Amino acid sequence: MLTPPIRIFRVSDRSMEPAVKEGDYLIVSRWYRRLRVGDIVVLRHPTKNISIVKRISTVSSNSVHVIGDNKEFSEDSRKFGSLDMERVVGKVILRF
């Protein structure tokens, strides 16, 4: 099944406040050259059937370590560790 190169997501939690707020819409691109520390991405959660929005804190050749800006409300790599690059849905290119 082909995945569209651009997708729209609606943020459903407060883990990325103040940069991304609950209720915001995100345009996410699967077309990116590489991910860098500081990029905001949408990922597939490692144990739940949901998508999550996080900021990249570390990048290696095959995995990313992600963290939420609002650490009090964020379930991120501090809990579940680094994630395989295959879990990255795309890079956020626009918030509205």
Asked if residue 86 is part of any domain, the answer here is yes
**Could you report the per-residue pLDDT of 35-71, keeping only the tens digit for each?**
999 999 999 999 999 999 999 999 999 999 999 999 9
Residue 57 is which amino acid?
S
Give the Cα separation of 48 and 75 in Å (integer).
12
Question: Are 23 and 11 contacting, i.e. CB atoms less than 8 angstroms apart?
Answer: yes
Question: Are 12 and 73 contacting, i.e. CB atoms less than 8 angstroms apart?
Answer: no
Query: Total structural domains in the chain?
Result: 1
Q: What is the pTM of this model?
A: 0.93
Asked if residue 1 is part of any domain, the answer here is no
Asked if residue 43 is part of any domain, the answer here is yes
Burial class (CB in 10 A: 0-12, 13-18, 19+), 83: buried
Residue span of the structural domain in which 64 resides:
6-95
Question: Are 29 and 63 contacting, i.e. CB atoms less than 8 angstroms apart?
Answer: no
Asked if residue 75 is part of any domain, the answer here is yes
Asked if residue 88 is part of any domain, the answer here is yes
